[in-house]
Structure 1
Amino acid sequence: MQWWEQYDPNDIAVNSTEVPDSWKVCVLEGVYFGNNDYGGMLGARISSIFVIGFVSTAVTLFPYCAKYVPWLRIPKYLYLFARYFGSGVIIATAFVHLLDPAYSSIGPNTCVGMTGKWASYSWPPAIVLVTLFLTFLIDIASAIWVEHKYGIVDDRNRNQVAEFFVSGHNMAMESNMHEHRYDNSVVEFSPRQGKNLTICESSDEFELDNSKEAKVQFAAFLVLECGIIFHSVIIGLNLGACGIEFKTLYPVLVFHQSFEGLGIGARLSAIPFKKNDIVPYMCSLAYGLVTPLSIAIGLAVRTTYNGNSYTSNIIQGVMNAISAGILIYTGLVELLARDFIFDQDCHRDQKKLVFNVVCTMTGAGIMALVGKWA
């Protein structure tokens, strides 16, 4: 018998001094004397595996395909909307969907946060802080590794790569056929409404710098995706085994996972991958499958899993705090700072800049609103 089972909650008043306040909080939150609350609707839960899996994967692929698949002929501003809306989603996810749940699981006023060593410190911000600096160190290490292996990417060539992949599409639409020369490299733009871009190079310098830039950005992206995947595992388990709130969670999580997928896809689309590279598709598929697989696991243990137990709260709180730290760093440094502050090209077209900022804020606002239900 657990130590807390020696007291009967039916015999203990809220203002009683017989038991510690932490015991009362644990009882009121359902951590003590709680059990499995599976609410049926097996058919709908099974359908969520396929619906969320398909929608998540498709939405994640959209920004990347919109940029790199010519026959889709996606309007430029639709692509920009998807990219920067997704950036806002990631930032809102960090604060509303990860940091707040971390406090709700292991924060100072929770059952876990008021018992044992968890009561000695406010752990959610500490975990976020440590994770943030670890992400920072990983970011530095990946940049140093790429520079050591491939040589230093100077700012001039870095800006040339960025200008080609970010601004080249727009420049192509303004001219039927013209050439821009960067040192020994020639970038040729097609007259077909700027949909296809052809790189004609007289040296390997441009392609090599592009490879370096892609590896640095991809390393940062992998950290971002890991943070979101941690969160998706928890969501899937809870959706597969939750109680009567499934009716509300199901449709909300379809939008939730779609918006997060749009954020991942937006980040993927900003990385200059080589033509026909399968890595972006594998990354999209990894995100699209992790939640359905977690839902399936939740269904397998639906009659025994207690998502509100003491141990579950610790695991969920720690994983949410870790994910929050990753996404806060990535959202503020890799997305906002990189795309708006340090990219001088974006300051030249103020109309596009305002559009991108509005899309980012819209994505953050809508994702924050979704946090009211999930």
Structure 2
Amino acid sequence: MAKPAAPFNLSLLDRETLQGWLRKSTLDQRLAQRARILLELGAGMTPRAVSEKLDVTAPVVFKWRKRYLEQGIEGLNDLPRPGQPRKLSEKKVREILDKTVHQVPKEATHWSLRLMAKYTDTTVWQVSQVWEAAGLKPHLSQTFKINNDPDFVEKVIDIVGLYMNPPDNAMVLSVDEKTQIQALDRTQVQLPHLPPRPGQVERRTHDDKRNGTASLYAAFDVASGKVIGRVTERHRAQAFLDFIWQIDHDTPKELDLHVILDNSSAHKTVAVKAWLERNPRIKLHSTPTSACWLEEVGQWFGHLEGKALDRGGFTSVKDLRETIKTFIDTHNKLSAKPFRWTKSADAILASVGRAENS
């Protein structure tokens, strides 16, 4: 067997490392090929012999042989490729979002990808990524509302930043109220002990009896998915203040509380502001106007409706309250899971997230 053109020494530690790579079932095949090349070279084979045995070209063998001699095993990883898509600055993302929700182009009635790219000196792909992350589709034929909140972009970035990178030693809570939940009792419902026959769904009458209403305040903990709830009789500022007090009471005192909620007037009364001044650990973050989709507690409300309310029968408001409380307790014990924001692959877009949902 011919000797290598130049000395090649593969250390015992590196040999064991490369052999360990090849035992992995999930190893990238490119790394597996490079590991085999070095192991064969380390066994004394010439680059040409290795090329023939592994069915690769000689330049490939020489490339990874040289890379190893210069950089060690770390050199087997791919170098960053040139020509990666240029990342948008936060300022540029703000500009795209601001123009989308507050302006229209001079030469058209709505924004298209090409027009926005032209006005903001970006690419069509970059505009599409921002719009996709923000849930904006102004270029499609659909109902679309221009958001008039002057602080729209700042609020979106603030709230999504809390979802993506919550502050240390703090809890992030999404708070909202579900008002006028009706205690409905169907006049006739298929009895529980009589299951539907094959091919027949559960049946109930179309009419119902109304036994009163209740409202529910809920705080969704982004980190754990657990919910703090309070059922009230009325929708008023005092009920909200009582709920904020409950949140303060039911959460660890050593943590700051960042509460995300809508722009309801009940959240801005003199009594609420005075209480917040006396309790600085609670910080309110308002969502933009017409952007309730930023409140993640809304998704939990959907689960509550679908699993406990829509097909339930309630003979009284007390019955309704007990059902809601039972659902919250069961959710916290069995179903709660952390919320994850997954709308963007780019770090900048991920910190901005979604904007106005048309």
State TM-score, norm by structure 2. 0.21
Q: When you count strand as a share of all residues, which structure comes out higher?
A: 2
TM-score, normalising length: structure 1? 0.20
Larger Rg: 2
Instruction: From the two aligned structures, give the one with the greater helix fraction.
Output: 1
Structure possessing the higher relative contact order (Cα contacts under 8 Å, 6 or more residues apart): 1
